[in-house]
Chains A and B, each alone.
Chain A
Amino acid sequence: MSEIENKEMKSNAFLVAISAVVLGLIAGAVLMALIGSNPFTGFWFLFRGGLMNIERVGNTLATATNLMLVGLSVAFAFRTGLFNIGASGQMLVGGLCATLVAHHVFLPRPLYLVVLILSGLLGGAVWGIIPGFLKAKFNVHEVVATIMMNWIAYWSVYYFVPAYLKGPSLETESASIAIEQTLRSPWLTKLFPGSYINLGFLVAIASVIIIKFILDKTTLGFELKAVGSNRFCAEYAGIRVNKNVVLSMMIAGGLAGLAGLSFYTGYSRNMQIGVLPSQGFDGIAVALLGASNPLGVLFSSLFFGVLQSGKGFMNAMTKVPPEIADTIISVIIYFTATSVLFKRLWEALFKILSRKKAVRDAKPTNNKEVK
């Protein structure tokens, strides 16, 4: 019985996700039509821009890498019943730590990569653990705390980068990292010539597998999910809720820190100040669309990766501004939040369909009884 219910829920989540995506695309089409562009050509160039050749596929994967890691971060916190809206700040701090390492630490490549990845992970984890601790110890709502942490990170980077990492030309960005010190790797670049793809992609895939393993196969994952579904029940069962809240925020922060690592030392090679990375918020869309499931996150980040990396090409070929991609993503978030709407719609539809089927099935038996 529960298996059937489970299946129904899964198909429900899938239907909701598809409905939200379709509505998001429709909203995008309406907006394109509104400014006098043909939506079909717009979407054609948007998707071609993300997928038309091997270089663009590489860029799409590189864009998806950041989204995947942030999406995992948000999804992981969701499973413990926490809303990590602070992925942007965690990205900034993780990215800052990684940038510092990239500028100042010189080691043999394998060892260097370990240090680099750990620095991003740790930076994000520290930024995540603070709201986790405040939530566990003082019951400060994690949404408010992570928003505050975002802006603390924003202004810290704003003044730190010009003071300690200033580039030769511009005041508003850090010096570029030497290419050998980034996450770019010759064999990956050879595989997708000319693209931004980097080892962050492998880090992201590994993270998906590890997080899936933690959630599904370990006691820690079970405890985290128990806290997420009912913290009082979990507490009654002897699970230490506060410890799990802190741990969950720490891991979520670490994942967002990895996104900062892949974004600032792989996708780009420097840090711009005065920008709160929008991936931190796109990641919420990724997690929601992926139903907070690591595999769902994998696929939805690829989808958003296509949108985000194709928008430049679309803008060059048509009159449609690139912000259409961000508009579509935000409309998708809005409709996943209001998923009750389609849930009702689909349920009503299924009810009608199943009633018709029941009537059809019922008719012959009735006939038999009459006979």
Chain B
Amino acid sequence: MWLTLTRIFPYAIAYTIPMLVTSLGGLYSERSGVTNIGLEGLMLVGYFATAITIKLTEATLGINALALGVMVGVLAGAVFSLLHAFASINLKADQIISGTAINMLASALTVYLARTISGSGNVRILMGIVRKNIPVLSRIPILGPLFFSQTYWTTWLCLLIWGLSWILLYKTSFGLRLRACGEHPSAVASAGVNVHMMRYFGVIMSGSLAGLGGSVILITYSGEFNGTVAGLGFLSLAALIFGQWKPLGILGATFFFGIATTIANVSQVIPSLNIVPPVVFKIFPYVATLLALVLFSKKSAAPKAAGDTF
């Protein structure tokens, strides 16, 4: 059992991290008062932009192409999210429709460009991140093999962003204002805060972080752009809800979902996990989210003004 656990744990973390940052992006957006169901599309844009950048530069830049790819992925996600921000903040559009349009546009446009650039709809990169053991820490019994062995640098970057975001959102006055925009925007406006600017910040953060999520998928476990992130964006949205719109909540939720996904993927090869059909693990996150919504329906933690125009 211990051996199984140490073997699947790095995979679980690899699945968790892209969801965690994307979900965190969703947190910024929804806390500022803009519902964002376009996370899937924004993730896909980051995924695509990173793939193209690395493909074009890996011959000259070598390993540095990965870092450049991540930066371009983040930027592409941010730029694409401006479409959603403009529609839902300035034009007071229905945010669900706008988000749907973002998802559809991303999946059509990225494949359109991929076909034009590489001939087929797929973009394969030659290298990924080398996994490293963290010195000293990886030798701690139990925790070492689970958390500090065979890790990607992106994992630590994303965890750092998660920690900083928590401080920004919950320990600074800026964070308080941002969250207030999602609860009672007119009150914040009367205090002299520019609600539109705050919401722009929230949406752009969601775009950049979802873009980062897409990049991380590519350079850690996927290695190839294939036109879809297979619902990971929606899974991140589920994690945001299951985690009740709180940083610690989404950390727990994404980790939970990451483990479930990993178990579903490997249960065919590992006999001790073969008792439960994999479909149970795959649908578990969605069912759990629905149940959480039912359970918390009386005192929903959702930002009160999320989805409302201002």
Contacts and interface: CB of A to CB of B under 8 A. Distances in A.
B93 A337 contact: yes
A203 B259 CA distance: 44
Interface string B96-111: 1110111111011101
A40 interface: no
Contacts of B278: 159
B105 A288 contact: no
A331 B105 contact: yes
B12 interface: no
Nearest to B94: A337
B289 interface: yes
A35 interface: yes
Contacts of A222: none
Interface string A241-258: 000000000000000000
B294 A324 contact: no
Contacts of A341: 91
Contacts of A278: 104
A233 B226 CA distance: 49
Interface residues of A, number: 49
Interface in B76-97: 83, 86-87, 91-94, 96-97
A140 interface: yes
B51 interface: no
B111 A333 contact: no
A281 interface: yes
Contacts of B91: 338, 340-341
A321 B110 CA distance: 11
A85 B96 CA distance: 9
A31 B112 contact: yes
Interface stretch (A48-56, A110-118, A150-158): A150-158
Most B Cβ at <10 Å: residue of A278, A285, A319, A330: A330
Contacts of B97: 284, 288, 333, 336-337
A83 interface: yes
B31 to A, nearest CB: 16
B112 to A, nearest CB: 4
B42 interface: no
Nearest to B235: A151
Interface string A155-186: 11011100000000000000000000000000
B109 A323 contact: yes
A215 interface: no
A151 B115 contact: no
A23 interface: no
A337 B101 contact: yes
A327 interface: yes
Contact of B290 (A148, A330, A338): A148
B104 A323 contact: no
Contacts of A140: 290, 293-294, 297
A329 B111 CA distance: 15
B294 A134 contact: yes
A91 to B, nearest CB: 16
A143 B290 contact: no
Interface stretch (B60-68, B143-151, B181-189, B279-287): B279-287
A154 B101 contact: no
A155 B284 CA distance: 10
Contact of A148 (B86, B109, B277, B289): B289
A147 interface: yes
Contacts of A336: 97
B11 interface: no
B18 to A, nearest CB: 16
Which A-B residue pairs are the 9 nearest by beta carbons? A326-B108, A330-B104, A334-B101, A337-B97, A330-B105, A321-B115, A155-B282, A159-B279, A323-B112
Given A159-B277, A321-B112, A338-B98, 11 more contacts: A85-B37, A139-B297, A144-B293, A147-B37, A151-B234, A274-B230, A323-B109, A323-B111, A326-B107, A327-B109, A334-B83
24 contacts: A31-B112, A134-B290, A138-B293, A147-B37, A147-B234, A148-B289, A151-B283, A156-B283, A158-B282, A159-B277, A159-B282, A274-B230, A281-B104, A284-B100, A326-B104, A330-B108, A334-B98, A334-B102, A336-B97, A337-B87, A337-B97, A337-B98, A338-B91, A339-B93
Interface of B: 37, 83, 86-87, 91-94, 96-98, 100-105, 107-109, 111-112, 115-116, 121, 230-231, 234-235, 237-238, 241, 277-279, 282-283, 286-287, 289-290, 293-294, 297
